[in-house]
Structure 1
Amino acid sequence: MDQFSRYPLSGIPVPFQYQIRNGDDSDAGVLRLMNKFNTEENGGHAKKRSAPNAGGADFDVKRARMVERSGLLSCQRDEGGPTPLFDIPFRFGLESGVSGADGSVSVCERRAVDDTRGGATAPQHGFQQLSSVNRVSSPVCSEDEGLVVSGAGGAAAAAAAAAASTAAGSDEGLPLSPVASPGRTPSEGVACAVIAEPRRSLQQDCLNAVAITAHSQLSPAAYKNLIFQLISRLNRSELSDLGTLVKDNLKRDFLSFLPAEIAVKILTNLDFEDISKCLAVNRTWNRLINNTPYLWRRLMVVEGFMSKDEYQKQCDVSKEDVDSAFRQKFLENRSNLKSWYSSEFKPHRTTLKGHSTSIVTCLQFEDDYIITGADDKVMRIYDAKTEEFVTQLSGHDGGVWALKYDKEGVVVSGSTDRSVRVWNIKKGKCTHLFRGHTSTVRCLDIVEHQGIKYIVTGSRDYTLRVWKLPSCRNENYNPDVCEVFNTTESNPYFVGVLRGHMDPVRTVSGHGNIVISGSYDHNLMIWDIAQMKCLYVLTGHTDRIYCTVYDHERKRCISASMDWTIRVWDLENIHKNGPCSMVNSFTNPCVKVAGSVLTLQGHTALVGLLRLSNKFLVSAAADGSLRGWDPDDFSRKFAYHHTNLSAITTFDVNDNVLVSGSEGQFNIYNLRTGRLVHSDLLSDADQIWLVKFNNRKLVAAVEKAGKSYVEILDFSRSATTEDETRRSDQDVSVVSSQDGSIR
C-alpha cells in the first residue's frame, strides 16, 4: 500500500501555524519532555526489566510458556544472532502484537535494520532536531510495513513513541553500541524477547504524565508541531474517528443553555433566510421558533408584510388564536412575494364593471372591501374575497372626490355637493349626512385621539372642518335610518372649523391630534384638533401644494408641490427649519416658519403624489418619473421612468413592491433588487387611474375604450389557460351581467 494512501497527512508540508520558526526557544522544553518520558518508562518498568536477570533460566522457561499459552507473539529466531553495526540507522516502533488477557504486550528487542529492507514506515515530518539529547528511551518495536497500533491506548502509545523517535532522529539516529545493555540481554539464539509491559492503568498514567509535560514545558509553536506530527502518523480510519470525535465535541447548542427570553432576543435579530436555517438545526430550535408568535409577528414587519402601526395594533389586541396564525400568515405572504417577483408568473385576473363615467376619482382597498368613487355621484363596493360586485351606494348630488374607509364597514365620503356622508357598507345605506362646507369637499382623513375618532375634511372654501365619527357601537346608532344635519349648530358630531388658508385646501393628513393641511396658497398648516388651533404655518414652496404626508414616528412633515420640489419639515425642533416668527392673530396666534430643514429635488414637473412606507419615501411626478428616498436620512434609493414619459397618475408602495400606472403603462418593480418585474399585466388598459394592493392582491381602476373597469390581480394563484385565451380573443363581446362582472 502506498505510504500516502495509508497516512493521508504524510504527503502535505507542515502548515505554517504548526511550524517551529527561528527564534522559538523550545529546546529546553523538548529536553525536559524527553527526560520525563524516559523517567516514566525506566521507573515504571524497572522491576519487570530486572525479572529475567533475577530468575535466570527458569524465568525464560516461564516466559516462553506464557507466550505459547496466550499466542501473543511468535518469536523469530535470528540464526546469525544480533550483530551490532555502527553505520546502519535504526527504526523503532510497536510490534503488531495484541495485548494479552493480563494487559501485557510483547515487545521486540532493539535491533539493527538494513537500509535495503523494504516496507512503508510511518511518515516523518520536520520536527526540529535537538542539538543534544542525553538519552533516548528504549524504543518499542516497528514492523517494516509501518506503525501498527493495537490494544487499548495503542494509538496514543504509538504516537508518543513516534514523536520520541522523531525527536531523537529515528532515521538518522545513533549507531547501536557494540556492548549489549546489561538489562536487555536476550536469551541465546532468540531474536525477540518477551518483556512484560506495565498494566494499562500504569501505561495510561505514563502517557498522561508525558502529555502534561509536553503541554506545560513546550513552547506553543513546538507543542502544535508535536500535535501535528502525532496526527500525521494516523491512518485514514484513525483520522476519521478523531475527526468525528472533535467535531461532535465542538458542537454546542447554546440556545438550549440560555434563558428563553435571551434566546428569542437573539432570534429576532435574524432575517427569514437565517431563521429557516435555524429551523433545521434540531428539534429544540424548531420548537422554540415555531412556538414563538412574537418572532413571526416581528418577521411580518421586517419582511415588509405589515406596517409598524398595524404591528402595534396587533400587539395591543393580541390573543392566543391570533398569535398562532402569524406563522401561517407569514409563510403565505412569503410564498406570494415569490410570485410578485417572478416575471414568468401570470396572476389570476378578474375584470369587473366600473362606473358609468370613464374617470375614477377615488379607490380604497381595505379589509375585504374594494370601494370606488367617481363623478357619476355613486360609490361601488366589491368583495375582494369572492371578486364580485356587492352593492352601489347612492345619495350624493355631485361627484365623489374624497373617500376614506374605517374599520367595521364604515365609509366616509366627500362630494362636490359640499356634503359629507357616513355609510354602512353591510347595510348599503347612508347613516349620517353632515352639511357645513360651502364648496366642494376635496380631501378628508380619519384620525383617532384618546379613543375618539374624528373626520377632518378640507374644502375649496379654504377651510377645514372637524367632525366626530359616529360609532356603530353607540346605543343610538341605527343603520336603517339616515340622520341629516343641515347646519353645524344642530349637529352633535360637529367639533369646529379650522381657518387660516387663503386658497382651496388640496390635501390633508394626520395622526392622533395632529393634522397637516396643504393648500393652493403655497403653505402648509399644522393643527392641533384637541385644542382646535393652529400650531405652525410652514412656508417655503413657491407654487401649489398637492400632497402631504405626516411622519408621526419621526415627527416630520413632508409635502409635494407644483414647484417640482419635495420639502421636509422637522416638527420636533421647529427652529431647525429656518427663521421663526409669531403670527399675531386674535383668534388663532401661531408660529410662522420660513424654510424647511431639507428640500428634495430631481423631478422636472409637478410632483403630485407621495407615499411613505417603513423603508421608503416615494414621490411621483408629471414628468413620468418615480423617485425613492430613505425616510431616515433622505438619501436617494432609486429612480424609475415610464417609457412614454406620460404623467404618473397613480402608484402604491410597500417595503417590497412598487406599482405605478400612467397612460397606457402599468409597471411592477421589485424594490429588493430594483428590477422591473412586470410591465404587461394590464397592457389592454388605455389609462390607469388608481391602484392599491396588499400582500396577495392588486386592485386597479382603469379605463378601456371609454369605460371604467376594476381589475383584480391575485398573486396567490396563477392565470389559467382559459383566462389567457379569453384575454387574447379580441373578437369576444363583453356583456355586463347584473352583478357587474365581465362574462
Structure 2
Amino acid sequence: MARYINGHSDSVYCIQFDKSRILSGSRDRTVKFWDYDHQSQTCVRTLSGHAGSVLCLQYDDTYVITGSSDATIIVWSSQTGERIATLSAHSSPVLDIRFNKTHLVSCSKDCTVKIWSLKTFELEHNLYGHQAAVNAIHLHGSTIVSASGDNHIMMWDLHTGALLRDLEGHTRGLACVQFDGETIISGSNDRTIRVWDAKTGQCTMVLEGHTNLVRTLCFDDKRIVSGSYDQTIKVWDRKSGEMLLDLKEAHSSWVFSVGLDGGKIISASQDRKIVIWDFTSGVSNLDYLVGDADNLATPSPHTRP
C-alpha cells in the first residue's frame, strides 16, 4: 500500500503533485521533479539555486515558486527550469508561499506576510499583525489566511492588505492552515486540529488524536488528512470528525508535508523519504478516500525546525 521515493540527501520539507509528477523541496537545497507512474518514480529534473533549505513550493504550468531558509523566494520557469526572478524582501526564512494568476503571497519567520505582483515581481504590501513567526498561509480568491506561532489565525484582503478577522482558540503556536473559501482548518503545537467557519470566525470542531505537533494538513469535501511530529498520518471524516485511518510506521521521523488527490495520499518527512499511499483498491473506508480531486484545498508546508 505504501511505496517510497528516495533521492533527496536530507529532510524533505514540501511536496506538490498532480497525476503525472511530484515536486519536492528539501533541506539539501534542491527541488526535484519526479515522473510518477505505477511502475517507477524517476527524478527527471533538479533545480538548484537556493543557499539554504527549500522550505516551501508551489507550481502551475507557468511557474515553480520556492521559498527558502536563505530568506529569498525564487521564481522558476515550470517548463524549462530556468530562474526568472529572485525576491529578497524578507529578513528571515521564508516559511510558506501561495500564488494565483495575479499575486504571490509569502510569509516568514520575520513575522510578516508580504504580497507581490506576479506580473512585475514587485512588493505591493507588507502585512503586520502577527507577533511571532508566520508559519503558514493559504490563499483563496481575494482572501489570505495566515497562521502563526503567536496562536493566532488572521484573515487579510489580498488587494488592500487590510486585516479582516483574527481567530483565537489554539492554546499553542500554529504550524499549518488550509482554506477553501468557506472553511479554515488549522493544526497546532497544542496537538489539535480546529475547523473554523470563515464567515463567522467560530470554531465548529476540534479533532484530537495526535500526540505531538500537527505539522501539515490538507482536506477536500469528505476528509481531512493530517501529518504530525508523532510520525503518523491520520485521515478524518470532515463532517463527523471521526478518525478513519491511522497510518503509522511508514515514516521514521517527523512528517513535514501531506497531499491528497482522490484515493492517493503522498507524504514527506525528515527521514528523507517521500511515501505514496494508494487507496484506490482493497481498503476499507474507500468511499471516504476516493472523491472529487477538483475540490481539494491543496497542501502547503509549515513550521520549520
Identity of aligned residues (%): 29
Q: Which residue of 1 aligns with 2:218?
A: 611
- Relative to structure 1, the CA distance from residue 622 to residue 387 in structure 2 (aligned partners, 3 Å threshold; closer, same or farther) is closer
Q: Which residue of 1 aligns with 2:54?
A: 400
Q: Which residue of 2 aligns with 1:517?
A: 146
* 1:426 aligned partner, one-letter code: Q
- Relative to structure 1, the CA distance from residue 367 to residue 668 in structure 2 (aligned partners, 3 Å threshold; closer, same or farther) is closer
* 2:260 aligned partner, one-letter code: V
Residues 505 and 518, structure 1, Cα contact 8 Å, conserved in 2: yes
Residues 622 and 646, structure 1, Cα contact 8 Å, conserved in 2: no
Instruction: Report the secondary structure of 1:535's partner residue.
Output: strand
Show the 5 A alignment for 1:730-741: none
Are positions 1:433 and 2:92 aligned together? no
Find the partner of 1:422 among 58, 71, 75: 75
Show the 5 A alignment for 1:647-666: 649=255, 650-658=257-265
Q: 1:567 Cα deviation (Å)?
A: 1.3
- Cα distance between partner residues in 2 of 1:660 and 1:424: 25
- Relative to structure 1, the CA distance from residue 608 to residue 407 in structure 2 (aligned partners, 3 Å threshold; closer, same or farther) is same
Instruction: Report the secondary structure of 2:151's partner residue.
Output: coil
Show the 5 A alignment for 1:496-507: 496-507=125-136
Report Cα offsets for 1:153-174 as digits up to 9, x if no partner: xxxxxxxxxxxxxxxxxxxxxx
* 1:395 aligned partner, one-letter code: G
- Cα distance between partner residues in 1 of 2:82 and 2:251: 42
Q: Give me the TM-score of the superposition, normalised by structure 2.
A: 0.78
Are positions 1:634 and 2:278 aligned together? no
- Cα distance between partner residues in 2 of 1:422 and 1:659: 24
Are positions 1:377 and 2:29 aligned together? yes
Q: 1:528 Cα deviation (Å)?
A: 1.0
Residues 458 and 465, structure 1, Cα contact 8 Å, conserved in 2: yes
Q: 1:493 Cα deviation (Å)?
A: 2.8
Show the 5 A alignment for 1:41-120: none
Q: Give me the TM-score of the superposition, normalised by structure 1.
A: 0.35
* 1:534 aligned partner, one-letter code: L
Please tell me the root mean square deviation across aligned C-alpha atoms, in Å. Answer: 3.4
Q: 1:358 Cα deviation (Å)?
A: 2.5
Show the 5 A alignment for 1:191-590: 354-355=7-8, 357-366=9-18, 368-384=20-36, 388-408=42-62, 410-447=63-100, 452-470=101-119, 493-552=122-181, 555-574=182-201, 577=202
Residues 85 and 121, structure 2, Cα contact 8 Å, conserved in 1: no
Q: Which residue of 1 aligns with 2:296?
A: none
Residues 638 and 674, structure 1, Cα contact 8 Å, conserved in 2: no
Report Cα offsets for 1:33-52 as digits up to 9, x if no partner: xxxxxxxxxxxxxxxxxxxx
Report Cα offsets for 1:89-117 as digits up to 9, x if no partner: xxxxxxxxxxxxxxxxxxxxxxxxxxxxx
- Cα distance between partner residues in 1 of 2:249 and 2:13: 25
Residues 109 and 132, structure 2, Cα contact 8 Å, conserved in 1: yes
Q: 1:642 Cα deviation (Å)?
A: 1.7
Q: 1:547 Cα deviation (Å)?
A: 0.8
Q: 1:676 Cα deviation (Å)?
A: 9.9
Higher share in helix? 1
Q: 1:570 Cα deviation (Å)?
A: 1.2
Q: Which residue of 2 aligns with 1:250?
A: none
Residues 183 and 196, structure 2, Cα contact 8 Å, conserved in 1: yes
- Cα distance between partner residues in 1 of 2:129 and 2:189: 21
Unaligned runs of 5+ in 1: 1-342, 471-490, 578-595, 678-693, 695-743
Unaligned runs of 5+ in 2: 287-292, 294-305
* 1:401 aligned partner, one-letter code: L
- Cα distance between partner residues in 2 of 1:602 and 1:400: 29
Instruction: Report the secondary structure of 1:549's partner residue.
Output: strand
Larger radius of gyration: 1
